[in-house]
């Protein structure tokens, strides 16, 4: 099976996908009601798309192609309202957050769909442990080579996106000490991590064909990379973010990614190189573990600073592009998160310190998602 043709898409448009948790309203554990929710939503005229995910207590909502922050915010808001309304009719809760705080992975059931059953068979318990919830952002690219350029340039900023969105401090009933414990679950997959350093689509196709002949992969879907090209949409897909607690935060982060992408694509500030990846996993770990307070090692200057500082500096650099995209409001909000150090993981820990019950923390997640 060969790689599909890289479709055309309008440059720098974006699309946002959010994986959401479905919980009961009694003890706020995850509940397998994806099918019920989808049944109700199917009866209505929907603006966006809502799809099942690997286990039956997750759903994924996605926007269409968005031009800018306000467009994304509006689209997300409409779908969010539809989902919240359907959930209310079923007396269940829907919320953001990268992990569910106290669910037991073995209680999960695989959503009955051929692909999911196949994955479950292959990965065993990993598939059920994959009940984690992420935000994916697509950025439209004018061509495949540009897509690969953007993919590798954007990799330098992956720790930013992790720290800004981190919302998974709790796992299986305990505080992990991490700000994004979700990414540790993703990392367990054999084809997780970063994309190989290939600069042209011809090389990338060759790589894909070689992988396909080994029988390890069949389609791009089998790669769980942090950023991966999505040829059928003509986009690259940034997949490191936890689903934030509010859809406004999701839109802000998407807008920040869009602004950085525009700056990278138009100004071409630096040519990516393989050695940029030397510090990649270190930076990524720091972001997962310590969030905005984590250390960031600049791949070029080898300078050490905090992620918060690097984010503030980046926002300054991309300001003009943010204004062009109408993302300046969103970037201001992102700068505020960086300077205050309060991301969603901090919010969740605050809720837990206050309520002393993870069940109550999840209930508050549902309230935040509605707001």
Partner 1 sequence: MVESLIWPSWPLHGNDLMRLAVALLLAAVCGEGVARLMKLPRVTGYSLAGLLMGPALLDWFGPTDLDNVRIAIDLALALLLFELGVRLDVRWFRANPWVLVSSVAEAALVFLLTFATMRVFGHPNGLAATVAAIAIGTSPSVVMRVAAESKAEGQVTQRLFVLCALNVTYSIVLSKLIVGGMHGVFRGDWTLAVLHPIYLIAGSLFVGAVLAFAFRLLQRAFDLTDEQGVAVLFGLLLLTMSALAILKLPSMLAPLIAGAIIKFSDPRPHLWPRHFGTAGGVLVIALFMLTGTTLTPTLVLAGGLTAVALLLARLIGKLGGGMLVGAPSGLSLRQSVVLGLALLPMSGVAFLLAEDIRTIYPLFGSQLAPIVLSMLAILELLGPIAVQWSLRKAGETRAGGR
28 vs 280, beta carbon nearer partner 1: 28
**Binding status of residue 88 toward partner 1 by CB under 8 A:** yes
Four-CA torsion 292, 366, 171, 113, nearest 10 degrees: -110
Integer-rounded Cα Rg, in Å, for the chain is: 19
Q: For the residues of 116-184, what is the DSSP string, one character each? A: HHHHHHHHTHHHHHT---EEEEEEE-SSHHHHHHHHHHHHTTHHHHHHHH--B-EETTEE-S-SB-HHH
Nearest distance from residue 362's CB to partner 1, in Å?
Answer: 8
Contact 39, 162 (CB under 8 A): no
Q: What are phi and psi of 143, to 5 degrees?
A: -165, 165
Q: Which residue has the tokens 């306000």?
A: 70
Interface region with partner 1, contact rule CB under 8 A, candidates 87-95, 225-233, 258-266, 283-291: 87-95
Judged by CB under 8 A, does residue 268 bind partner 1? no
Interaction mask 350-369, partner 1, x per CB under 8 A: -----x-x-xx--x------
Least distance to partner 1, CB of residue 243, Å: 21
Q: How far is the CB of 125 from partner 1 (least distance, A)?
A: 12
Q: By CB under 8 A, tell whether 78 contacts partner 1.
A: no
CB 172 to partner 1: min, Å: 16
* CA-wise closest residue to 141 among 129, 153, 133, 132: 153
343 counts as binding partner 1 under rule CB under 8 A: no
Q: Residue 345, CB half-sphere, CA atoms under 13 Å: how many?
A: 31
**Which one-letter DSSP state was computed for residue 261?**
H
Q: What share of the chain is helix, strand, coil (3-state, %, to 5)?
A: 50, 15, 30
* Interface pick for partner 1 out of 32, 64, 77, 341 (rule CB under 8 A): 32
Nearer to partner 1, 29 or 324 (CB): 29
Report the Cα 90 to chain-centroid distance in Å. Answer: 27
**Distance in Å, CB of 62 to partner 1, minimum:** 23
- Find the shortest distance in angstroms from Cβ 41 to partner 1: 11
Residue 28 sits in the site that holds partner 1 (CB under 8 A): yes
**Residue whose CB is less far from partner 1, 302 or 356:** 356
Asked if 109 touches partner 1 (CB under 8 A), the answer is: yes
Q: Contact between 39 and partner 1 (CB under 8 A)?
A: yes
Residue 31 lies near partner 1 (rule: CB under 8 A): yes
**DSSP 3-state assignment of 236?**
strand
- 25 binding partner 1? (CB under 8 A): yes
44 binds partner 1 (CB under 8 A): no
Work out the burial of residue 1: count CB atoms within 10 Å of its CB; fewer than 13 is exposed, 13-18 middle, 19 or more buried.
exposed
Question: How far apart, in Å, do the first and last CA atoms of the chain sit?
Answer: 45
Listed residue (285, 95, 90) closest to 181, CA to CA: 285
221 counts as binding partner 1 under rule CB under 8 A? no
Q: Which is nearer to partner 1, 24 or 78 (CB)?
A: 24
C-beta closer to partner 1: residue 25 or 320: 25
- Examine residue 33 and tell whether it contacts partner 1 (CB under 8 A): yes
Decide if residue 174 touches partner 1 (CB under 8 A): no
Interatomic CA distance for residues 246 and 240, integer angstroms: 17
Which residues of the shown chain bind partner 1 in the complex (CB under 8 A)?
A: 24-29, 31-33, 36, 39-40, 88-92, 107, 109-110, 355, 357, 359-360, 363
């Amino acid at each position: 099976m060969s790689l599909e043709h890289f479709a055309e898409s309008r440059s720098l448009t974006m699309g946002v996908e959010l994986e959401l948790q479905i919980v009961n309203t009694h003890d706020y554990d995850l509940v397998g009601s994806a099918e019920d929710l989808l049944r109700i939503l199917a009866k209505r005229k929907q603006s966006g798309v809502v799809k099942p995910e690997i286990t039956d207590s997750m759903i994924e909502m996605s926007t269409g192609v968005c031009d800018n922050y306000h467009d994304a915010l509006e689209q997300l808001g409409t779908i969010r309202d539809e989902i919240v309304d359907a959930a209310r009719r079923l007396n269940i809760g829907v919320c953001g957050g990268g992990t569910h705080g106290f669910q037991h992975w073995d209680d999960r059931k695989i959503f009955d769909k051929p692909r999911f059953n196949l994955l479950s068979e292959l990965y065993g318990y990993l598939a059920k442990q994959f009940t984690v919830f992420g935000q994916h952002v697509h950025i439209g690219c004018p061509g495949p080579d540009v897509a690969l350029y953007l993919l590798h340039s954007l990799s330098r900023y992956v720790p930013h996106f992790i720290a800004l969105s981190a919302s998974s401090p709790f796992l299986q009933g305990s505080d992990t000490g991490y700000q994004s414990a979700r990414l540790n679950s993703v990392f367990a997959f054999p084809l997780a991590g970063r994309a190989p350093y290939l600069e042209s689509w011809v090389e990338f196709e060759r790589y894909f064909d070689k992988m396909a002949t080994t029988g390890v992969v069949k389609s791009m879907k089998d790669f769980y990379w942090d950023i991966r090209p999505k040829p059928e949409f003509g986009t690259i897909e940034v997949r490191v973010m936890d689903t934030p607690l509010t859809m406004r935060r999701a839109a802000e982060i998407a807008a920040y990614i869009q602004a950085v992408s525009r700056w990278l694509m138009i100004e071409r500030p630096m040519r990516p190189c393989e050695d940029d990846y030397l510090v990649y996993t270190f930076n990524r770990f720091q972001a997962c573990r310590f969030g905005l307070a984590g250390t960031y090692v600049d791949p070029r200057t080898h300078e050490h600073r905090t992620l918060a500082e690097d984010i503030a500096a980046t926002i300054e650099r991309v300001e003009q592009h943010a204004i062009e995209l109408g993302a300046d409001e969103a970037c201001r909000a992102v700068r505020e998160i960086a300077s205050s150090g309060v991301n969603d993981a901090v919010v969740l820990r605050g809720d837990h310190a206050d309520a002393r019950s993870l069940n109550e923390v999840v209930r508050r997640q549902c309230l935040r998602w509605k707001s």
